[in-house]
A and B are shown apart, each in its own frame.
Chain A
Amino acid sequence: MSEWLERHVPKVVLAPSFVAILFFVYGFIAWTAWVSLTRSRLMPKYDIEGFIQYERLFAAPRWDTAMNNLFIFGTLFIVISMILGLLLAILLDQKIRTEGVIRTIYLYPMALSMIVTGTAWKWILNPGLGIEAMVRGWGYEDFKFDWLVNSDLAIYTVVIAGVWQSSGFVMALFLAGLRSVDGEIIKAAQVDGIPTWRIYSAIIIPSMAPIFLSAFIVLSHLAIKSFDLVIALTGGGPGYATDLPATYMYAMAFSRGDIGQAASSAMIMMAVVFAIVVPYLYSELRAAKND
């Protein structure tokens, strides 16, 4: 008995976590998938009816807005964060004496809760008292910056706050990448008199392709899961102009009492995440095996 235990103790130790993940991740995904195929409203039902929830979802203007917003927000958030992050990393890579301090400043927003970030930017972007009022106070009486309360532009305020929060992190990723490029090659290029910008554009940046991919994965993951930032900054409003899939799902689940819609929208979110993450993870795991 004790010998058996000795031999199987690693499995016994891993078992509770494994069972928990199996049940609370995969079991729950299965549950949500199942319910997304039923007519569940306030209470879950378990008779499968086909894809009616998805048909309802794709016919709902609010979901349409949410997906459009995800596209606008996701694209801008990822592109701007990457460009800004890369720029900052290159600037910081020039043997800056105060690099440590500056890096700390660029990265601290990542330690904040999205609710805090949203609260801060909600105040800064408040038309009556924030930036708009400030610039008007300088004498530019016609200055207008009311994106936060403008249904067509409010989604861009989410981009502003999101980029502020995450670009420092992208900078840290790129900086680590820049530092890992082989110094000998750069030295050789410098000896040959190749200008610095060419060294970056032709040697360093192309060699960082894996980091671009990592940054893209992390940022797109953040974008799809964005929930708290929208809640704190705009509350999904004006109306539902800044709804994202995550806020749509939450509204259906907890305030509209429409479990079928909540489940089907959650499944779509997961499909989007997996379409991006699974190929990446798969290649990572394979690479790890080959090491």
Chain B
Amino acid sequence: MTDMTVTNARSGGLSKIALRWILYILLGIFALYYLMPLFVMLTTSLKSLDEIRTGSLVALPRDVTFDAWRTAWSGACTGIQCEGLQPYFWNSVLIAVPAVMISTLLGAMNGYVVAQWRFKGANIIFSLMLFGCFIPFQVVLLPMATTLGKLGLAGTIPGLIFVHVVYGLGFTTLFFRNYYVTIPQELVKAAKVDGAGFFRIFWSIFLPLSLPIIVVTVIWQFTQIWNDFLFGVSFSQAGTQPITVALNNIVNSTTGVKEYNVDMAAAIIAALPTLLVYVVAGKYFIRGLTAGSVKG
């Protein structure tokens, strides 16, 4: 009797351990699946072209060389120019930094108004802004091209900043609104009784509470703007292209020998800033991703 229970418990334990193993192996296989492209990009970028042609896709580099990285950064051709990704990397920085700052600031103010200073029609305004988040941007490309031309901003970096601010507003407002709406309205009422005004309340009560949502919004906007291709390719010209457009031009340029190692190094360079943000602040990145889609 006692014997039986012992064996039963043991075999139950064994199959449990076997299940655990299968579970971990499955998880490991999927991890390999997600890591494989990054691994291939990295190893390919460190190989010479000869080694790429003769070796296997997944083989480690025999002779590690950083030539491809150097070329990708400062020598690869995007069409007729051969300055590498460097100038375009800085273009993307010049576009993303102001656009992120402006759209976050405006989103914070808007969210504060919509959540805490409700006036007649505020909800309709918010709904209209929210719907605006979901339009396919193709529907505004043509009129925006015309408008930028009329404003003298066609093909310029300020033009791209402007576009990213305008079409980022809906999301930034949504983020801050959903955050501020959880703060009890009595707080504003009490502060008003004490004689504090609109800006004062924002500045000394709401802003100090806002760090988490500011981080979420900044990360979201930065990732969106850095990774944008559609606006970049539609509204830039030779000298003002963001890095995604330049990367695509390098990869698809048809002149000369196809340098796969340079393509891969360039792709990693283009991906590094957002990857870095993800690794450092992954928690906030995920919060931004799920903010619009999961309630609460």
List residues of chain A with CB under 8 Å of any chain B CB.
6, 9-11, 13-14, 16-18, 20-22, 24-29, 31-32, 35, 44, 88, 91-92, 94, 96, 102, 104-117, 119-124, 129-131, 133-134, 137, 164, 168-169, 172-173, 176-177, 210-211, 214-215, 217-218, 221, 224-225, 227-228, 231-232, 235, 245-246, 249-250, 253-254, 259, 262-263, 265-267, 269-270, 273-274, 277-278, 281, 284-285, 287, 289
Contact = CB atoms under 8 A, between A and B. Distances in A.
A115 B247 contact: yes
A24 B119 contact: no
A13 B248 CA distance: 40
A176 B267 CA distance: 31
* Residue among B58, B109, B146, B267 with max Cβ neighbours from chain A (10 Å): B267
Nearest to B28: A102
B31 interface: yes
A118 to B, nearest CB: 8
B230 A227 contact: yes
A134 B274 CA distance: 30
Given A44-B146, A106-B31, A111-B285, A22 B119 contact: no
19 contacts: A16-B106, A18-B125, A20-B166, A21-B132, A21-B166, A22-B128, A32-B139, A102-B31, A104-B279, A109-B34, A112-B274, A123-B263, A129-B53, A134-B57, A164-B33, A172-B289, A177-B294, A228-B229, A265-B138
Contacts of A250: 138, 141, 230, 233-234
Contact of B134 (A210, A249, A259, A281): A281
B206 interface: no
A79 B53 CA distance: 37
Interface residues of B, number: 93
Nearest to B130: A281
A273 B134 contact: yes
A210 B169 CA distance: 26
B227 A112 contact: yes
A263 B129 CA distance: 22
B interface majority secondary structure = helix
Interface string B139-178: 1111111110000000000000000001101100100000
Contacts of A111: 223, 271, 274-275, 277-278, 285
Point out which of B106, B137, B143, B252 has the most chain A C-beta atoms below 10 A from its C-beta: B143
B176 to A, nearest CB: 12
Given A25-B140, A105-B35, A10 B264 contact: no
A253 to B, nearest CB: 6
Contact of A115 (B248, B278, B293): B248
Contact of A173 (B109, B268, B290): B290
Contacts of B290: 172-173, 176
Contacts of B223: 111
Contacts of B27: 91-92, 96, 102
A93 to B, nearest CB: 11
Contact of A24 (B40, B140, B234): B140
B209 interface: no
CB-based closest 7 A-B pairs: A113-B227, A10-B117, A111-B278, A228-B229, A25-B132, A266-B138, A214-B293
Interface in B212-245: 223, 226-230, 233-234, 244
A109 B34 CA distance: 8
Contact of A107 (B134, B144, B286, B295): B286
Contacts of B26: 91
B248 A107 contact: no
B138 A246 contact: yes
A32 B143 contact: yes
Nearest to A245: B138
Given A13-B110, A14-B114, A267 B139 contact: yes
B135 to A, nearest CB: 6
B248 A231 contact: yes
B54 to A, nearest CB: 10
Contacts of A235: 252
A213 B114 CA distance: 27
Interface in B75-122: 106, 109-110, 113-114, 117, 119, 122
A10 B139 contact: no
B37 A94 contact: no
Contact of A232 (B119, B136, B170, B248): B248
A134 B142 contact: no
Given A28-B139, A112-B227, A133-B57, A124 B294 contact: no
Given A14-B122, A106-B31, A113-B228, 4 more contacts: A112-B274, A116-B271, A245-B138, A266-B142
Nearest to A276: B134
B12 interface: no
Contacts of A267: 139
A225 B137 contact: yes
